[in-house]
Structure 1
Amino acid sequence: MNFNIPTAMQMTATLTLLVAFVLAYAARQFPHAVQQPMRIWIRGLLLQCIPYFLYASREFAPEWISVVLADSLMVAALAVQMHALRRFNLQPDQRVHMRLIVVATIIFEVLLTYTWHSMRGRIVLVSLAIAAIACFGIDAIYRRRRVTRAEHMVGMLLFGGIVVMLLRAMIVPATSMLDVTMSSPMQGVVFTYAASMPVISTVAFVLMCGERINAHQSQQAMIDPLTGVYNRQAMAELANKSIALARLDGRPLALLSVDVDHFARFNEDFGYDVGDQALCHVVDILRDMARPDDVLARITGERFMLMLPETDADTAFGLACEMR
């Protein structure tokens, strides 16, 4: 089957542009925590549209536009998207290193076009540059201790891209590989991957954002909004699990009920706003006295509970006396 590369690139550019606009419109409804990485990702998509259009115009556009500029923008667009991944996962900023790769790509693209004139060299250069940039995204994903399914999806896409680019760099001496518009089995693999990557990776990135939002909402449902400690429902779940494990392992576990005396009168005398501040102050005191593994929760208005793992009754009683 004849794979028409210019037509495929034109369709990819159009589809990528539409995906970027749709995502930009939908991003306004997302929480602030994921909006910024998503906006960076959208900028990468918009930048990615340009080289696809330029590749499609290879037959009639000047070489400096359809090759030098297109290749450089493709590497730059991927760098922007990898920065979005790193920002999303709160990983160290590697823009300086990625920019160095982009600048090196531009310089050697110019040299390989106008000084040494090597199409093979350009293909190897861009393939290696894309593979190197993709490594920053894989690092951003798998540096985390817990990787979600959507993140695994993005990681596999990036790893697949690295493999394709390295294979392309290895077999580039084939004559049919020396013209970006000529069809060959390897060209079909490369440009099929390039055509599907923007949409599939964007879907996976949106799924990553959705997982992050769901995790945040689940966490918020377990937190008391005033004091920032666990609420009654969360403590019930944690206590049931901890008690079951303590019984299974034969380890001690203690629960302390902490009640603020005369709090109703305090609210009447000083007002509810001051009462809220007093509760937050009580939580600060309890946190200072608690150990790192202890779990604190607000059960009702002025009643708290402290779960003490690996703590026998005598130790728990001593801690309760200190809190009084």
Structure 2
Amino acid sequence: MPLLAAHVPTMLAAIIVCSLMMAASVALVGWGRRREGLCHWAAALLANAVGHVLLVLRDQIPDGLSIVLGNGVLSAVVSGLTVAIYRFQGRTAPWAVLVIPPVLAAASALAFAGSYAARVACVGIVLGLQFAWALAATLRYRHTTVGRGWWLLATGLGLEALVLLVRSAAALALRGTEANLLQSSGLQTVMFLATLSVVLVSSVGFVFMSRDRADESNRVLAAVDPLTGVANRRSLIAALDRDVGRALRSREPLAVMMVDIDHFKRVNDVYGHPAGDQVLCSVVNVLRERVRAQDLVGRYGGEEFMVVLPDTSLAGAEQLARALCRAVADSRCHLPGGRSGPATEIAVTVSIGVFGGRLEQGDSWDMLIAAADRALYQAKENGRNRVEVATGLRRPAGAATAHGDAASTPPGSPSRG
């Protein structure tokens, strides 16, 4: 027996056991997460165990089961893995790519039942091309896949595709050196090790992909306002705190705007809360279209938004605020008609408070928000649909510390709306 040859039945048994264990593990992880493709992957691993059981029973069961059905099942396994990958990407796999290969694999095994080399070559080409297709599907959408799990998945798929195609060529070149599948050889060892790697490495990679996506979704939920799609209060404060530190080090100016929709309660009362949600999104779109890429727009709370403007002077921030105020006033929120009534256009305006300039040691993010907030209240008192500017920083009575929420309502201030 060659030095590199391993006992084939033992390797087949290892593949069967690993497939069953990984199938159970992936199914447990994917329970209730059908859109992730994990259940499809688990089903494919279960079929992989069945296919290898049929192979290991060669000469103990009819050849139609061991050879023909066994090879067809193994091809169906790759189809199942491909379905799982497509499902994870939110796509539907082409039925021809899934159905035709198993039929070809079973037909090839039947046609060359008496020639081991020809059978290995034909079935190996079918399976190798299937793995190559699954690899291509993985790589095509790699930029939309977060994390590094796809590297493990692609490595396992690529290795198996390469080994199968090389084995097919070697089977024809070394015809006659192997009498059947269960005969040990170095080539057989490499092939079954590659198969084991797909069961282990690619499965772990696929699970990691699902976990990384869940982590990214949780990160987005923690940082983004679900209605408007902009930063929420928590991520706004974190970004402003970071920008304050950078502005103190670089001595560059920093500006903050507090933007509040005028008479927003009236919109909800007259048109309903769904219309109010559309107004919020419409105002956000106007803001985002007119700020720079490095600026940050976020929802501070209710109908109030904050705009963080790094490296921006007070004069520049005031000019932008007036442009935003005019743009919102000129825009219209379109409400489609329906059972509740005809299509409607809602005109809205905003009031904006601005603070900007160079910061000094001891200045903090909550002081900037409080200053812009005071200017916003002044804009409300002066008639709304206007911009007011805060010229200095001071901590109002009762304001939160730098480690808490910024003061939003100075004592005695009128209500917003």
Query: Is the alpha carbon distance of 1:238 and 1:92 closer, same or farther for their aligned partners in structure 2, counting shifts above 3 Å?
Result: farther
Whole-angstrom distance in 1 between the partners of 2:247 and 2:115: 69
Whole-angstrom distance in 2 between the partners of 1:133 and 1:300: 52
Indicate yes or no: 2:142 matched with 1:142: no
State the Cα distance separating 1:155 from its structure 2 match: 0.4
State the Cα distance separating 1:91 from its structure 2 match: 4.5
Indicate yes or no: 2:322 matched with 1:317: yes
Q: Counterpart of 1:171 in 2: which secondary structure? A: helix
Query: Is the alpha carbon distance of 1:57 and 1:208 closer, same or farther for their aligned partners in structure 2, counting shifts above 3 Å?
Result: same
Gaps of 5+ in 1: none
Q: Counterpart of 2:132 in 1: which secondary structure? A: helix
Q: Counterpart of 2:112 in 1: which secondary structure? A: helix
Kindly report structure 1 stretches of 4+ aligned residues shifted beyond 6 Å. Answer: 240-247, 251-254, 308-311
State the Cα distance separating 1:214 from its structure 2 match: 0.5
Query: Is the alpha carbon distance of 1:193 and 1:53 closer, same or farther for their aligned partners in structure 2, counting shifts above 3 Å?
Result: same
Whole-angstrom distance in 2 between the partners of 1:166 and 1:24: 30
Matching residue within 119, 130, 133 for 2:130: 133
Task: Please list the CA deviations of residues 234-289 of structure 1 after superposition, one character each: whole Å capped at 9, or x if unmatched.
Answer: 23455677899999xxx9997643213355x659x959x95x54651332221443
Indicate yes or no: 2:15 matched with 1:16: no
Letter in 2 for 1:15: C
Task: Please list the CA deviations of residues 91-139 of structure 1 after superposition, one character each: whole Å capped at 9, or x if unmatched.
Answer: 56233223222222222222222xxx43212101121111111122222
State the Cα distance separating 1:156 from its structure 2 match: 0.9
Match of 1:260 in 2: 261
Q: Counterpart of 1:195 in 2: which secondary structure? A: helix
Match of 2:333 in 1: none
Gaps of 5+ in 2: 329-348, 350-417
- Whose RCO is larger (CA < 8 A, sep 6+)? 1
Letter in 2 for 1:11: A
Match of 2:6 in 1: 3
Query: Is the alpha carbon distance of 1:20 and 1:280 closer, same or farther for their aligned partners in structure 2, counting shifts above 3 Å?
Result: same
Q: Is the 8 A contact 2:68 2:107 kept in 1?
A: no
Q: Is the 8 A contact 1:7 1:56 kept in 2?
A: no
Letter in 1 for 2:324: L
Q: Is the 8 A contact 2:51 2:71 kept in 1?
A: yes
Match of 1:193 in 2: 194
State the Cα distance separating 1:75 from its structure 2 match: 1.0
Letter in 2 for 1:122: R
Q: Percent identity?
A: 24
Whole-angstrom distance in 2 between the partners of 1:214 and 1:258: 32
Match of 1:156 in 2: 155
Query: Is the alpha carbon distance of 1:211 and 1:4 closer, same or farther for their aligned partners in structure 2, counting shifts above 3 Å?
Result: same
TM-score by length of 2: 0.65
Whole-angstrom distance in 1 between the partners of 2:106 and 2:254: 63
Match of 1:298 in 2: 299
Letter in 1 for 2:70: A
Q: Counterpart of 1:104 in 2: which secondary structure? A: helix
Matching residue within 255, 275, 280 for 2:277: 280
Pair member with larger Rg:
2
Match of 2:397 in 1: none
Question: Whose helix proportion is higher, 1 or 2?
Answer: 1
Query: Is the alpha carbon distance of 1:75 and 1:32 closer, same or farther for their aligned partners in structure 2, counting shifts above 3 Å?
Result: closer
Query: Is the alpha carbon distance of 1:196 and 1:160 closer, same or farther for their aligned partners in structure 2, counting shifts above 3 Å?
Result: closer
Indicate yes or no: 2:78 matched with 1:78: yes
Query: Is the alpha carbon distance of 1:166 and 1:245 closer, same or farther for their aligned partners in structure 2, counting shifts above 3 Å?
Result: farther
Query: Is the alpha carbon distance of 1:254 and 1:87 closer, same or farther for their aligned partners in structure 2, counting shifts above 3 Å?
Result: farther
Calculate the aligned-residue CA RMSD, in Å: 3.5
Whole-angstrom distance in 1 between the partners of 2:65 and 2:254: 70
Whole-angstrom distance in 1 between the partners of 2:128 and 2:243: 46
State the Cα distance separating 1:46 from its structure 2 match: 1.6
Task: Please list the CA deviations of residues 154-195 of structure 1 after superposition, one character each: whole Å capped at 9, or x if unmatched.
Answer: 101111112211221121143333410100111111112223
